[in-house]
């Protein structure tokens, strides 16, 4: 989550900061950080949509043994993301209490935002990257040697030009749009963000009415990026971020699509509604000063029949679903 890595400008508009640490882990050794199984640790919060995308991609590609994961508490304190879910409040691999320690090991004078997902070099304890826009793409393209047998191609070369355009629109209007609405401090900026969110949802509803996934018959990177925001929309963004024209459950194609993905192996086990709801409603005290976490909505509906099989398609293409965990 990069909420503590943003600002609201004088006009009242939410501004998301660029990733300060944008190094890449590459297969050909062209970067300072070569791909090496077991060398790096991925740090996530299950509350965070950007981090959840990494968890889905890692599961679908079968990289669990190559890239370990540390999970932070969904509730941050003044030092940001902390490892209070682990014995002794210490990540068992990195030996630190806060992911901020890896940031400062890399750059002692760093005073910017502390965000997840983040990848840490285990031997040195230094942060490698917090570039949430690039990380999933690199798991698909740079870590191929360590993909499981039957791993799907989530970023096919022939689809990349169109997919990149779809991803860009979803990011600007929807992934980031809900934050622009939720953190806006002026009516004008909120109205603009609200309009963007629902223009994008209407476009997606139309696109997904006649095809099972965003790029056609198989799951791709674009679907994973969209899913992470969709699955949080009714429980959080609809009320908490004032994106309340309608719920996803009221949009037939998008609601069926959301359940289709949610029930797909590799997606379901990365979603933690408890972490999601507690993070947003407790941490955002400027939006929800009481810290009360709503009891609803009824989350059992995510497991109901979606009917998207009628559109055909093969979710994993020529690949296979990941094994149960």
Query: Does residue 308 contact residue 258 with C-beta atoms inside 8 Å?
Result: no
Q: Strands 118-121 and 127-129: what pairing? A: antiparallel
Spatial CB neighbours of 289, under 8 Å, sequence gap ≥ 6: none
Spatial CB neighbours of 111, under 8 Å, sequence gap ≥ 6: none
φ and ψ at 273, to 5 degrees?
A: -65, -30
List residues with catalytic annotation: 48, 179
Q: Strands 6-8 and 127-129: what pairing? A: unpaired
Place of tokens 């969209």: 226
> Where does residue 186 fall: left (phi above 0), alpha (psi -120 to 50 degrees), or beta otherwise?
beta
């Amino acid at each position: 989550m990069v909420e503590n890595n943003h600002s609201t400008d004088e006009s009242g508009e939410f501004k998301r900061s660029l990733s300060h640490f944008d190094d890449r882990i590459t297969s050909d050794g062209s970067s300072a950080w070569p791909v090496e199984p077991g060398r790096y640790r991925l740090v996530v919060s299950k509350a965070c949509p950007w981090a959840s995308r990494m968890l889905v991609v890692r599961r679908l590609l079968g990289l669990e043994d190559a890239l370990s994961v540390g999970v932070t508490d969904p509730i941050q304190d003044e030092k940001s993301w902390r490892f209070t879910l682990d014995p002794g409040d210490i990540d068992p691999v990195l030996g630190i209490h806060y992911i901020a320690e890896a940031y400062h090991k890399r750059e002692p004078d760093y005073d910017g935002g502390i965000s997840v997902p983040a990848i840490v070099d285990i031997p040195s304890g230094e942060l490698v990257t917090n570039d949430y826009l690039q990380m999933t793409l690199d798991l698909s393209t740079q870590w191929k040697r360590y993909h499981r047998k039957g791993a799907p191609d989530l970023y096919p070369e022939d689809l990349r030009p169109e997919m990149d355009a779809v991803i860009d629109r979803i990011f600007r209007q929807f992934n980031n749009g809900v934050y622009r609405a939720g953190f806006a401090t002026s009516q004008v900026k909120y109205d603009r963000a609200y309009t963007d969110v629902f223009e994008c949802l209407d476009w997606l509803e139309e696109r997904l009415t006649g095809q099972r996934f965003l790029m056609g018959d198989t799951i791709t990177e674009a679907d994973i990026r969209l899913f992470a925001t969709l699955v949080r929309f009714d429980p959080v963004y609809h009320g908490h971020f004032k994106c309340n024209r309608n719920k996803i459950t009221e949009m037939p194609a998008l609601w069926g699509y959301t359940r289709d993905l949610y029930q797909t192996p590799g997606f379901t086990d990365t979603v933690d509604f408890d972490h999601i709801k507690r993070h947003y409603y407790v941490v955002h005290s400027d939006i929800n000063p009481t810290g009360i976490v709503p009891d609803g909505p009824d989350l059992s509906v995510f497991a109901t029949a979606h009917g998207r099989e009628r559109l055909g398609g093969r979710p994993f293409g020529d690949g296979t679903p990941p094994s149960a965990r």
